[in-house]
Amino acid sequence: MSEGTMQRRAQRDGQFDQREQRAERVNRAGGLNRLLAAAVAVPVMLVAAGCSSDSGSGDDAKDAAASTGAGSGTDSAASAAPTVQAAAYKTLPEACAVVSKKTLTELVPKGAAKGKEGTSSDTAARASCSWSSLANNGVKGSQFRWLNVSLLRFESDTATGDGESQAKTYYAKQVKDAQAVSGAKNVKSAPVAATGDEATSVRYDLKKSEGAFKQQTVVVRVENVVLTLDYNGAGLAGDKAPSAETLTKSAEKASKEAVAAVRSANGEGGSGGSDTSGTSPSPSESASSTPKATPSKSSSATPKATASKAAAAAPKASASAKS
């Protein structure tokens, strides 16, 4: 083999070796690129997964916020519901026991033990009792007396308002009715001190066929209860007419005892025969802290303003006198 031929073969072998080396480098570079691409792909996938997770969390947060907002709206709507102050007094005493036996003996001597309780479908809301007395003095005639006590308790209700406000309205009406009795003469009105939260005495003369009657009506409000006491007297068959001043004092005394009985029945000191009116603290302050919507819905038990008017006293008195 010539020297030239050997030289060309060596060149070809050298070129082949170079090509092999280049191919190996390319392969190595390709593998490295694939590794780099894979390494880059992993963070991208992690970032994508993180974004997806964050997106879900955001939706959950939005749902939670919406739920919280809905709950808040419900609570707000509930707190905005109409409320009313709870009534201070929840019951009434036994009507025929609100005046002591001693006082009854003074006011109606012949009928102190014969109180007649009025009919009521709910004695915790309305109650009444009456007594009549006819003392026969022979040829001098006779003395007639009639006493009636009516109690009306108002319950708080979102439709009609709190019990005390209703009682105030009814109290004013009762006073006005007593002052406007048909046929009444010499009508006089005056406030009564130390009796309930407010009290008014109305007295007048009423001429009947049986004789001249002296009528006394005392209207008292104590918290959410209105008490109306009617007391009248007459000298019949020629007997002397009783003193209006004396009858008024007796009626006011009995009213104070009745107020004490109402308070006692509701757990506030005193008793039916003692005078604690005007001195005991009002329970309405503690009642105002009671949830207004305790509002026990007792509108069905709310008494309507239908208590007997003072005008009814005179006809009853004359009827008793006839008997």
Q: Does residue 215 register a pLDDT over 90?
A: yes
Binning pLDDT at 50, 70 and 90, where does residue 150 land?
A: very high
* Pairwise pLDDT comparison (250 vs 55), residue with the higher score: 250
Assign 3-class secondary structure to the chain: CCHHHHHHHHHHHHHHHHHHHHHHHHHHHHHHHHHHHHHHHHHHHHHHHHHHHHHHHHHHHHHHHHHHHHHHHHHHHHHCCCCCCCCCCCCCCCHHHCCCHHHHHHHCCCCCCCCEECCCCCCCCEEEEEEEEEEECHHHCEEEEEEEEEEEECCCECCCECHHHHHHHHHHHHHHHHHCCCCCEEEEEEECCCCCCEEEEEEEEEEECCEEEEEEEEEEEECCEEEEEEEEEEEECCCCCCCHHHHHHHHHHHHHHHHHHHHHHCCCCCCCCCCCCCCCCCCHHHHHCCCCCCCCCCHHHCCCCCCCCHHHHHHHHHHHHHC
* Pairwise pLDDT comparison (225 vs 36), residue with the higher score: 225
The pLDDT score that the predictor gives to residue 270 is 52
* Pairwise pLDDT comparison (146 vs 65), residue with the higher score: 146
Q: Does residue 278 register a pLDDT over 60?
A: no
* Pairwise pLDDT comparison (194 vs 315), residue with the higher score: 194
The pLDDT score that the predictor gives to residue 274 is 41
Q: Does residue 88 register a pLDDT over 70?
A: yes
Mean pLDDT on 264-283 = 59
The answer to which of 44-58, 237-251, 264-278, 293-307 has the lowest mean pLDDT is 293-307
Binning pLDDT at 50, 70 and 90, where does residue 279 land?
A: very low
Mean pLDDT on 170-194 = 97
The pLDDT score that the predictor gives to residue 139 is 84
Among 113, 121, 74, 71, which residue's Cα sits nearest to residue 96? 113
Mean pLDDT of the chain: 76
Provide, rounded to the nearest whole percent, the portion of the chain with pLDDT above 70.
58
Task: Count CA within 13 A, CB hemisphere, residue 237.
Answer: 13
The pLDDT score that the predictor gives to residue 31 is 55
The pLDDT score that the predictor gives to residue 22 is 61
Residue owning tokens 């939706």: 59
Q: Does residue 237 register a pLDDT over 60?
A: yes
Strands 126-136 and 116-117: antiparallel
Task: List the 142-153 sheet strands across, edge first.
Answer: 116-117, 126-136, 142-153, 225-236, 211-222, 198-208, 185-191
Mean pLDDT on 23-33 = 55
Mean pLDDT on 219-230 = 98
| d(C-alpha 156, C-alpha 296), whole Å | 8
Binning pLDDT at 50, 70 and 90, where does residue 235 land?
A: very high
The pLDDT score that the predictor gives to residue 226 is 98
| d(C-alpha 158, C-alpha 294), whole Å | 11
Provide, rounded to the nearest whole percent, the portion of the chain with pLDDT above 90.
54
* Pairwise pLDDT comparison (169 vs 60), residue with the higher score: 169
